[in-house]
Amino acid sequence: MNKVYDSVIGAIGRTPLVKLDRLTRMHRVDGTIVAKLDYLNPGFSKKDRAALAIIEEAEAQGILSPGQTVVELTSGNMGTGLAIVCAIKDYPFVAVMSKGNSVERARMMRALGAEVVLVGQLPGSLPGQVSGGDLERVNEEAVRVTAERGAFRADQFVRDGSWRAHYDHTGVEFWEQTGGKIDAFVDFLGSGGTYAGVTKLLKQQNSEIKCFVVEPIGAAAVAGHDITQPEHPIQGGGYVISNLAFLEGAPIDGCLQVSGDKAKQVARELARVEGIFAGFSSGANVAAALQLLQSDLRGKTVAVMICDSGLKYLSTDLWS
């Protein structure tokens, strides 16, 4: 559809859905993976959707005043989305992020006009591996900055816009683009907003669709596993949080685990075999889908998100 938008935020969402047939053939699995290319959003990630929904929800509720500063903790993707939305809507934006996240994200947010506050990791934490403890330090700083500046906290882990964006739009797009021909959906957990929104919509359309959460091996808190490796390279999620607010009432048919090495391997294969240049969590999603097609869901269709762009990880070992 040809359309001229009033601003770049009009281009958020309605991303393409593609089959990963070359990859499934390479892995010799029977079935289909359909991948939503949300790295084609203006901020190069699915978080653009939630950023726009959270700000518009706050405006509608009257809890965000004109010109008020917006603050949020981020691994980089939500911050990028908020930087874009806030720039268009004239809200100053402060992103609070762990130093363990890739430097490209901070540079991109600053280029988009955001102020970026970087928070040191816990003693012993490794760059590129942000744990739940590291995230808590970021949250403490975000709380401080919010209070100091009288800011609005976007709070992607609790604001309804975070999951509603995916219920109202992403899930609908999956359903319409496939003509309802989806057997399963898998999603790597960060805030849980994408998982909750998409699964609630898909289950309403067809209760037989199976929905699986994806977590890192050794950090599968939602699955109830012992935590043996809270640090891992899959940036943007796997924070060892078992009580994610958005998962309350969200359908979960099973839990899958993917190692950091496997996520890297499949992300590299996506680039080389499918021409899709994506990040760690996208690799984790596709790796989990391959698991299902090799076992209980042989011959079926599994839907996944391509969460963000590989351009955000050029300084990491993903592309070394």
Structure tokens, 105: 């994200």
Contact criterion met (CB below 8 Å) for 233 and 260: yes
Query: For residue 240, what are the CA distances in angstroms to 76, 158, 232?
Result: 19, 17, 11
Q: Is 264 a catalytic residue?
A: no
At 174 the three-state DSSP class reads helix
Instruction: Clarify whether 162 is annotated catalytic.
Output: no
Helix (H, G, I), strand (E, B), or coil: what is residue 160? coil
Catalytic residue among 45, 162, 281, 309: 281
Paired sense of beta strands 17-19 and 32-37, if any = antiparallel
> Of residues 36, 47, 89, 300, which has the active-site annotation?
47
Produce one character per residue of 255-281: b if its CB has 16 or more CB atoms within 10 Å, e if not: bbbbbbebbbebbebbbebbebbbbbb
- Return the SS3 of 257: strand
Query: Which active-site residues does the annotation give?
Result: 47, 281
